[in-house]
Amino acid sequence: MKPVSPSDEPVPGDDVPFPRPHHDHDHCRHDALRRAEDVCARQGARLTQARREVLDLLWADHRPVSAYDLLHRLNADGRKAAPPVVYRALDFLIEHGLAHRLNSLNAFIGCAHIGGEHGAQFFICRECGQVAETRSPEIDSAIRTAGAELGFRVQAPVVEVEGVCPTCSGAPA
Amino acid sequence: MKPVSPSDEPVPGDDVPFPRPHHDHDHCRHDALRRAEDVCARQGARLTQARREVLDLLWADHRPVSAYDLLHRLNADGRKAAPPVVYRALDFLIEHGLAHRLNSLNAFIGCAHIGGEHGAQFFICRECGQVAETRSPEIDSAIRTAGAELGFRVQAPVVEVEGVCPTCSGAPA
DNA sequence: GTAATAAATGTTATGTTATAACAATTGATA
DNA sequence: TATCAATTGTTATAACATAACATTTATTAC
Ligand SMILES: [Zn+2]
Ligand SMILES: [Zn+2]
Ligand SMILES: [Zn+2]
Ligand SMILES: [Zn+2]
């Protein structure tokens, strides 16, 4: 079994958060847009044209994009949008849990999970630039425990891990 | 006992990484400089005037400082240093494990631990801006485990936790 | 000691990331 | 359709960071 697993690590078949090279990415994109519509509908928020376009650009692939890259892509068709357009759209998307900011890269990425705001951990491949987003209760709990030992009330843990993804580690396929 | 502990959390008396309001901070500063000299001596690196000054400025208190704040403080005495002065000094200090960069704040802080480069976790108080640096094997290990499950080779975990420190939580002392 | 070399610093300019402030437009509501 | 709130447009500027090259300072070789 284990048909196209990109690694020999003990990973569950299709739940691997690192995107496989030839996965159906159109599915990722369309799914993300659909989820965004759901979220906005439920929260009475408006997924306007600019916001939708930025979200779609974020889902061009599984790599984070800088705000100015987004701006250039937005303006590729001759438009003349200014930076606030992008930053406002990003603020909206982040507030509604549809995108995340990666502090270590000054870049943004579409949220791979469902639901509102939430903690997450990001694994960033130094080779290919792709990012996997996880929600590990174990990491979260280790952080909260360490915080408690300091008497620190944890509000927003940020975890961004640099390394090399399974594909770039030279896994079979 | 537990004479001036800032919190009722189960913390060891004097190992609390969050600085107590009236601790002997001159000791922190001088100790940091002395450790820096040790490290540089051992590594054959030169702790030049500019580097020493920046390190000393980083130890003004336990809050991170932006590069331009450092620059302004450097120039407070009429000097006319330019940004590269500060960024080079910071690069040096970081390379030698004497300072850290906090990505979520675009700011820098003196390393509170001894020794060369190392992973660490930062707990950042939203109220007072003070930062505690820890080295928690548990957090590190949770991250490495989660990475392994993705087939991801972890190289540099970044953990920056926002919240409220014991002092600002309204602890007794 | 002096020349050659390497390390560090000075200097100017520019690139990159992000926000402030206010005007104009659009969409919902009454 | 008048009103109000939300969104977008526009200009300017703030904040963060580095490239490139000249100059100086420290180390080493002779
Ligand atoms: Zn995909
Ligand atoms: Zn990769
Ligand atoms: Zn101190
Ligand atoms: Zn505090």
The confidence score (pLDDT) of residue B116 equals 58
- Find the residue in A nearest to B165 (Cα): A152
Q: Does B17 map to a domain?
A: no
pLDDT of B172 strictly over 80? no
Inside any domain, residue B63: yes
User: Does the structure show a pLDDT above 50 at B5?
Assistant: no
Are residue B92 and residue B143 in the same domain, yes or no?
Answer: no
Q: Please indicate, yes or no, if residue A131 is contained in any of the structural domains.
A: yes
Candidate from A78-92, B3-17, B34-48, B79-93 with smallest mean pLDDT = B3-17
Alpha-carbon span B7 to B172, nearest angstrom: 6
Structurally, chain A folds into a number of domains equal to 2
Question: Shortest CB distance from B171 goes to which of A151, A155, A171?
Answer: A151
Is B46's CB less than 7 Å from nucleic acid strand D?
Answer: yes
Tens of pLDDT, residues A85-121 = 999 999 999 999 999 999 999 999 999 887 656 679 9
- Quick check: B140 and A159 in contact, CB under 8 A? no
The answer to whether the CB atoms of B104 and A158 lie below 8 A apart is: yes
Q: Are B151 and A171 in contact (CB under 8 A)?
A: yes
* Same-domain pairing of A107 and A126: no
Domain that holds residue B125: 118-173
Side-chain half-sphere CA neighbours of B55 within 13 A: 29
Are residues A56 and A133 located together in one domain of the fold? no
Q: Which residues face A157 on adjacent strands? A: B161
B82 touches strand D (CB under 7 A): yes
Closest-approach nucleotide to residue A85, Cα vs C1': D8
Its pTM stands at 0.87
Please give, rounded to a whole number of angstroms, the shortest distance from the CA of A41 to a CA of chain B: 30
Residue A11 lies in a domain: no
What band does A12 get if pLDDT is binned at 50, 70 and 90? very low
- Supply the pLDDT for residue A11: 36
Report CB contact under 8 Å: A147, B163.
yes
In a domain, B9, yes or no: no
**What confidence tens digit (pLDDT) does each residue in B38-65 have?**
999 988 899 999 999 999 999 999 999 9
Distance CA A65, CA A152 (A): 33
For A24, the token pair is 């159906």
The tokens for A134 are 């996880």
Q: What is the CATH number of the domain that holds B51?
A: 1.10.10.10
Ligand found nearest the CA of B130: 4
Q: pLDDT tens-digit profile of B94-119? A: 999 999 999 999 999 999 887 656 67
Q: Which of B18, B94, B99 is nearest to B59 (CA)?
A: B99
- Write out B116-148 in H/E/C secondary structure: CCCCCEEEEECCCCCEEEECCHHHHHHHHHHHH
Q: H-helix or E-strand containing B72? A: helix B67-74
Cβ–Cβ < 8 Å for A95, A86: no
Q: State the helix-helix crossing angle for A83-95 and A67-74, rounded to 10 degrees.
A: 120
